């Protein structure tokens, strides 16, 4: 199964390090990040989970819940948590899903047989309040993810969900944005009364709208 942008994120029930969850219910009316790691007690995964724990206040500020997954059993997750805290300086503060039967991995296409037919690759799914998939990223097992980039994309997704704008290359919170081409100038004047700079008729740059 290949999930695409705009698809409904499959619901599931799972055992996690913070108890039993039903995914859609656990998400509530906010955003979510579901990410898989190949295996517990491995070096790259250890650094990644420590980084997500460090950044969790940033996810919280954006009303985003984070949850990890691997095909290891729950006991391994609990045992590994001590290593993460010891080596990374940040204890786990979000749930890890135990997917030993690979049911959830299958629903989300997290196992890529040509890369590894046993373990999950480094998949990322950003899910919106409507439970639809807004972003997918897949990294190989050997490459650790940039979770600050994932936060940057969430900033863009949340901004564009509220306003008729797109974000340009390398955009960061507070920088200028682009008015979407589907708005003509008359519609744009109503939405952006402070105006914009026209670089080309299809490229209109304006200040980031305030919430």
Neighbours of 29 (CB within 10 A): 8
Name the 3-class secondary structure at 115. coil
Q: Do both 66 and 110 map to the same domain?
A: yes
pLDDT in tens, 5-56: 999 999 999 999 999 999 999 999 999 999 999 889 999 999 999 999 999 9
Asked whether residue 3 is domain-assigned, the answer is no
176: containing domain: 163-206
Residues 133, 56: one domain? yes
Active site residue 140: no
Domain holding 20: CATH number? 3.40.30.10
Please state, for a pLDDT cut of 90, what percent of the chain lies above it: 86
Per-residue pLDDT at 197? 96
CB-neighbour burial class of residue 96 (10 A; exposed 0-12, middle 13-18, buried 19+): buried
Furthest-apart CA atoms within the chain: distance in Å: 60
Is residue 115 located within the same domain as residue 191? no
Choose, from 45, 96, 127, 151, the residue flagged as catalytic: 45
Domain contains 30: yes
Residue 40 vs residues 52, 80, 99: alpha-carbon distances, Å? 15, 7, 12
Last residue of a domain, one of 92, 113, 145: 145
Q: Does 122 lie in the same domain as 22?
A: yes
Residues 120, 4: contact at Cβ < 8 Å?
Answer: no
Q: Give the torsion sign (CA, 143, 147, 152, 157).
A: positive
What sign has the CA pseudo-torsion 42, 146, 50, 26? negative
**Number of structural domains in the chain:** 2
Neighbours of 201 (CB within 10 A): 8
89 shares a domain with 26: yes
pLDDT tens readout for residues 137-195? 999 888 999 999 999 999 999 999 999 999 999 999 999 999 999 999 999 999 999 99
pTM: 0.92
Kindly state whether residues 56 and 93 are assigned to the same domain: yes
| pLDDT reading at 69 higher than 90 | yes
């Amino acid at each position: 199964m290949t999930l695409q942008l705009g698809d409904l994120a499959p619901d599931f029930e799972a055992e996690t390090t913070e108890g039993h969850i039903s995914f859609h219910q656990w998400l509530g009316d906010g955003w979510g990040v579901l990410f898989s790691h190949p295996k517990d007690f491995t070096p790259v995964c250890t650094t990644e989970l420590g980084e997500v724990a460090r950044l969790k206040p940033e996810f919280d500020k954006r009303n985003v819940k984070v949850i990890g997954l691997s095909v290891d059993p729950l006991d391994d997750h609990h045992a590994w948590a001590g290593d993460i805290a010891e080596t990374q300086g940040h204890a786990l503060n979000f749930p890890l899903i135990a997917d030993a039967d690979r049911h959830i991995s299958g629903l989300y296409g997290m196992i890529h047989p040509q890369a590894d037919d046993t373990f999950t690759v480094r998949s990322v799914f950003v899910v919106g309040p409507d439970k639809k998939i807004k972003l997918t990223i897949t990294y190989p097992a050997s490459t650790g993810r940039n979770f600050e980039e994932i936060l940057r994309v969430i900033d863009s997704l949340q901004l564009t969900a509220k306003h008729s704008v797109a974000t340009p290359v390398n955009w960061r919170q507070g920088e200028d944005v682009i008015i979407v081409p589907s708005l003509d100038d008359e519609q744009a004047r109503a939405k952006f009364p402070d105006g914009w700079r026209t670089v080309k008729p299809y490229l209109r740059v304006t200040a980031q709208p305030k919430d």
